[in-house]
Structures are given as structure tokens and as C-alpha cells.
Amino acid sequence: MRRLLGSTRGLFIACVAVSSLLAGLVTAFVWLPLAGHLLPPGHFLAPWVPMVLSILLAIPIASFVSRRSARPIQDMVEATKSISRGDYAVRVAEEGTGDIAELLHSFNRMTAELGSTELMRNDFINTFSHEFKTPIVSIRGFARRLRRGGLTEQQQNEYLDFIVEESQRLADLASSVLLLSKYESQKLVGEQTDYDLDEQIRTCVLRLESQWSAKDLVFELDLPRLPYRGNAEMMEHVWLNLLSNAVKFSREGGAVFLAACEEDGRISVTVRDEGVGIDPKDIGHIFDKFYQGDSSHAAEGSGLGLALVHRIVELSGGRITVESEKGRGTAFCVELPAAAGEG
């Protein structure tokens, strides 16, 4: 910035110097020969008169030109001061051409990015505080009620169960937030190993058996052998999240389908359920942090699961898509590079 302002000062000096040189040339080659013909004989005009006049004229012109070209930079200096005070709404007028115009455009883009990051950060802190406060308030309520006494043994046990459940929810929430912030700051998937994805998915299905058998669900698996190179710990979060959502949002006695294939160097795994489906107004937000479309299951999750899945798939060089119909079911499709490279 200082260099740019310095170059504006340089422009001013250059304008004065060029104008003075031109004035000298005009005086020597135009004015003096012309004055010799126009003035009556015996009259003489000192050569410094037109020279001084030209220089006097050159100074305001140079000052105008340099000030005009410095204005966008000075606007930017002022805008930068506003940003440093935390005002991200500030913008500079995008005028001029060439490098300056591009600089102003990039500056506005950078400010807009900073503004949205700040908004997201505030939003995250607000939601996070709210999500944390709710279980703490209910734990405190139950603990106070227990301390007052006068409860039956059954009531005491119920209240203690609530406290255990809510503290578990807090612990899960804290681990999910920590994990998500860790993966968000990571640029690479980290340690990679060779293993079979189909085997990992089957193990995840078994780990959730208590949940799906409680709802009397059937699992239909169509999983060929899928040799894969990637971070096994991270991929496990993906399958556990997608499968537990499929179970959570399925109706009693429903079915969950798992299919996978490998084609053109890409592995694709689909987890499909015939559950409640996702409202079209929610579908664009389900990968957002803390977003919970279906409030009937809000207490069973934190809205961080799919944000985590999305980040892991992204880090693994893949992509995740979703298709859903309200009341008919949902299908998530994870595509991964068959031999996943870092990043």
C-alpha cells in the first residue's frame, strides 16, 4: 500500500517533469520562432515567460491527475482501517481499469469472504453455546430436584437416568465438535492403509445391531470386495453416521439397502432407507453444522454427523450426494477414488 501511495507521489513528480520538458521544447521550437514573426520589430519576449506559464499550468494538472489515480488507493486505505475495527460490510467503489480495477475487485471479494467467515463463526458460537446450555440446564434441574429429596425410588432412578443421558449427549457433542474442527483444519487425510471397504461397512452394520434390531429393521447388502487405500478411522465415521441415520429415520419393520460398485477408478457406496425422507426445503442444508431438519429426532443427535461425513469425504478426494423423497425414503451415495491419494 505504501509503495502504491509512493508511486502516486512519483506520478505527480513525473507529470510535472514531463510537462516542464514539453514546455521547454514548445518554447524553443514553436513559441520563439512564432514570436519572432508575430511581434512587431524591436519587441522581444523573454523565453522564460511561456516556460514559467507552462510549468504553472502543469502543476495543477499533474496534481489533479495524480490525486485522481490515488483516490481508489486512499479509499482502500480507509476501508482497511474499517476492517481492522471489525467492520466487514465496508466496500470500495470498483472504478478504473487494468491492475487497479482488478485490485479493487479482489479487495471487495476478500472483504465479503471475511464477512461471511465472521458471520459463520458467530453463528457457530451461538448455536454451539445453545446446544451446550440446554443439557446443562436440564442436568442442573434434575440434580436440584434430587437434592430436595422426597422422591420415590423409581423417580430417583428416572432422574438419574436423565442425568446420565444428558451428560452422554454433552460428551458426544464435545467429541463431535472437536473432531469436526480437527478435520476442518486438516488439509490431508493423514495416515492411510490398504483395507477392504466392504469389510469395514459390514463391521459397522454389526456394531449398530442393537439399534436396528430394536426397530425390527432388515439390512440388504450387495457389497462386492472393494480394496481401498485411505484413512480407516475417518471412513468408519462416514459409515457409522450414514447407517445410524438410516436406522434412526426408518420406520419400525422397514429395510435399509447397502450397495456398492467400482467403476472407472471410482468406488461408489449407496446407503438407502425407506424412512421418513427429507423435506425439499431442508435438503440443501443437511450438510451444514448443527442442522437438524427432522425435529422429532433432534434429541438423538446434534446435527454434526453429516457435516463430519461431508468433510471426511472431501478430504478423501471424493464426494457425497443425496436423493430423498418426503415420506418415501433417502439415499446417500458416497463416491471415492479407488486408490485414494492424499488430499
Interaction pattern, residues 321-340, with ligand ADP; x per rule: CB under 6 A = ---------x----------
Q: Would you count residue 303 as binding ligand ADP (CB under 6 A)? A: yes
Residues 6+ apart with CB under 8 A from 76: 1, 92, 103, 104, 107
Minimum distance from CB of 127 to ligand ADP (Å)?
Answer: 13
Q: Would you count residue 246 as binding ligand ADP (CB under 6 A)? A: yes
List the one residue out of 64, 53, 116, 68 whose CA is nearest residue 89: 116
Minimum distance from CB of 281 to ligand ADP (Å)?
Answer: 11
Which position among 240, 302, 311, 313 is part of the footprint of ligand ADP (CB under 6 A)? 302
Total of chain residues touching ligand ADP, rule CB under 6 A:
23
Residues 6+ apart with CB under 8 A from 128: 177, 290
Kindly report the CA angle at 200 between 197 and 206, in degrees rounded to 5? 145
Q: Pick the stretch among 124-132, 133-141, 219-227, 242-250 that binds ligand ADP (CB under 6 A).
A: 242-250
Q: Would you count residue 208 as binding ligand ADP (CB under 6 A)? A: no
Which position among 301, 311, 315, 336 is part of the footprint of ligand ADP (CB under 6 A)? 301
Report the C-alpha gap between 313 and 335 in whole angstroms: 8
Q: Please, which residue, 293 or 318, has the CB nearer to ligand ADP?
A: 293
Interaction pattern, residues 176-205, with ligand ADP; x per rule: CB under 6 A = ------------------------------
Which position among 306, 313, 315, 336 is part of the footprint of ligand ADP (CB under 6 A)? 306
Which position among 294, 311, 313, 336 is part of the footprint of ligand ADP (CB under 6 A)? 294
Kindly report the CA angle at 50 between 48 and 53, in degrees rounded to 5? 105
Place of cell 430423498: 324
Q: What residues from 63 to 82 belong to the interface with ligand ADP (CB under 6 A)?
A: none
Q: Pick the stretch among 75-83, 143-151, 165-173, 295-303 that binds ligand ADP (CB under 6 A).
A: 295-303
Q: Would you count residue 54 as binding ligand ADP (CB under 6 A)? A: no
Which position among 12, 139, 249, 315 is part of the footprint of ligand ADP (CB under 6 A)? 249
Report the C-alpha gap between 214 and 216 in whole angstroms: 6
Cell of 273: 432407507
Report the C-alpha gap between 215 and 176 in whole angstroms: 25
Q: What residues from 12 to 51 belong to the interface with ligand ADP (CB under 6 A)?
A: none
C-beta pairs of 100-103 under 8 Å, 24+ apart in sequence: 100/69, 100/72, 100/73, 103/72, 103/76
Report the C-alpha gap between 138 and 263 in whole angstroms: 51
Q: Please, which residue, 199 or 323, has the CB nearer to ligand ADP?
A: 323
Of how many residues is the chain composed? 343
Q: Would you count residue 286 as binding ligand ADP (CB under 6 A)? A: yes
Q: Pick the stretch among 70-78, 221-229, 238-246, 258-266 that binds ligand ADP (CB under 6 A).
A: 238-246
Report the C-alpha gap between 213 and 315 in whole angstroms: 33
Q: Would you count residue 270 as binding ligand ADP (CB under 6 A)? A: no
List the one residue out of 132, 135, 198 whose CA is nearest residue 162: 135
Minimum distance from CB of 225 to ligand ADP (Å)?
Answer: 26
Place of cell 516556460: 51
Cα 136 off chain centre by: 30
Q: Pick the stretch among 112-120, 187-195, 198-206, 296-304 that binds ligand ADP (CB under 6 A).
A: 296-304
Measured over the CA atoms of residue 306, residue 311, residue 317 and residue 321, the dihedral's sign is: positive
Query: 3-class DSSP state for residue 261?
Result: strand
Q: Please, which residue, 196 or 325, has the CB nearer to ligand ADP?
A: 325
Which residues of the chain form contacts with ligand ADP (CB under 6 A)?
241, 245-246, 249, 273, 275-278, 282, 286, 291-294, 301-307, 330
